[in-house]
Amino acid sequence: MSYYEYGKTEEYLLSLLPEYVVPKLAPVLKEAQKFGVPTLSNTGARFLELVTMLKKPKRILEIGTATGYSGLIMLLSCNAKLCTIDFDAAALDRARRNFDDYGVGRRVQILEGDASEIIPLVEGKFDMIFLDGPKGRYYEFLPYLIDLLPSGGVLLCDNVLYSERMTGEREVPKSKQTIADRLAIFIDNVTTDSRLVTSVLPIGDGMSISVKR
C-alpha cells in the first residue's frame, strides 16, 4: 500500500527490492498500513538502513515516530540510543510496544508533543537526525537541527520532493500550495547553508541528506 504517487524511476527502483526490505519488521509495517499510518517507501527504508550502517551513530534524533518502523530500522542497524518525537498518542502507544517487542525499548526516549515546541528544548548533540514530520514545518526546524549536529553529523530528511510536485512533474493543487512553498524554502536553505554539504535524491517521496562541515 502506498501513500505517495511514484514516477517511473521510483517504480523501477522499487522493483529491485523485496516486498519487505527488513523482513523481521514486516509485522510493524503491516500494522502501520492497517491503521492508515504513512511509512517510508521501500527505497527510503533501504536508504535509511544503509546510512545508519555507514554512519554508526551513537545518538539519533527522530522527528516523526509513527508506529516505530523507521526508528526500528535505525536501532536494528546500530547500537545507538534514539530520541524520537511525535504528537500522536495512539501511534506512540504502538511504537512503545514495538520497541519493547524488538528488544530495543531501553535505548529509546519518546517525547510526546508538538515538535516545534520540543526541538528547541532538546539538549546535546546527535550523530544522526532523521526528519520525517510535518513537511510544512521543515524550514522552521532546520536551524535548530543544524545546531544539534556535531561536525560530521548526518541530517536525513524524507518527503522533500512531495511526490514530484517540487520538480514540476505533478501539479500542486491549491490546497497543497502552502506546503509546497514552505518545502521550497527548506530545500533552498538546506542546500545553500554553508555549514552543510547536501544532496537531494529522488528516493521514495524525495530525500535530502546533509553532512555538517
**CATH code of the domain covering residue 95:** 3.40.50.150
Q: What is the pLDDT of residue 158?
A: 95
Quickly list DSSP for 104-133: -GGGEEEEES-HHHHGGG--S--SEEEE-S
CA dihedral 92, 93, 99, 102 (to 10 degrees): -140
CA-closest candidate to residue 75, choices 128, 133, 125:
128
Q: How many structural domains compose the chain? A: 1
Does residue 2 carry a pLDDT above 50?
Answer: no
The helix (H) or strand (E) run that includes residue 56 is: none
Position 172 scores a pLDDT of 83
Report yes or no on 2 lying in a domain.
no
Among 8-12, 42-46, 113-117, 204-208, the range scoring the smallest mean pLDDT is 8-12
Mean per-residue pLDDT, 59-65: 98
Q: What share of the chain is helix, strand, coil (3-state, %, to 5)?
A: 45, 15, 35
- Tell me the CA distances in angstroms from 24 to 27, 35, 84, 208, 209, one per residue in order: 7, 19, 21, 26, 26
Let me know if residue 158 belongs to a domain. yes
Residue 1 falls within a domain, yes or no?
no
Q: Is the pLDDT of residue 82 over 80?
A: yes
Residue-range definition of the domain harbouring residue 19: 8-212
With bands split at pLDDT 50, 70 and 90, how would you rate the model's confidence at 7? confident
Q: Is 3 part of a structural domain of the chain?
A: no
For residue 208, is it within any domain? yes
Please compute the mean of the pLDDT values over residues 162-177 and round it to a whole number: 82
Question: Structure pTM?
Answer: 0.94
In this prediction, residue 5 carries a pLDDT of 66
- Domain-located, residue 12: yes
DSSP summary character for residue 72: H
Residue 42 lies in a domain: yes
Query: CA geometry: angle at 84 spanning 82 and 89, to 5°?
Result: 140
Edge to edge, the sheet with strand 81-86 lists 108-112, 81-86, 59-63, 128-131, 154-158, 207-212, 196-201
Stretch 181-205: mean pLDDT: 95
- 3-state SS, residue 59: strand
Question: In percent, how much of the chain has pLDDT > 90?
Answer: 82
- Taking the C-alpha atoms of residue 130 and residue 120, their distance in angstroms, rounded to an integer, is 16
Q: Which amino acid is at 194?
A: S
Computed over every residue of the chain, the mean pLDDT equals 93
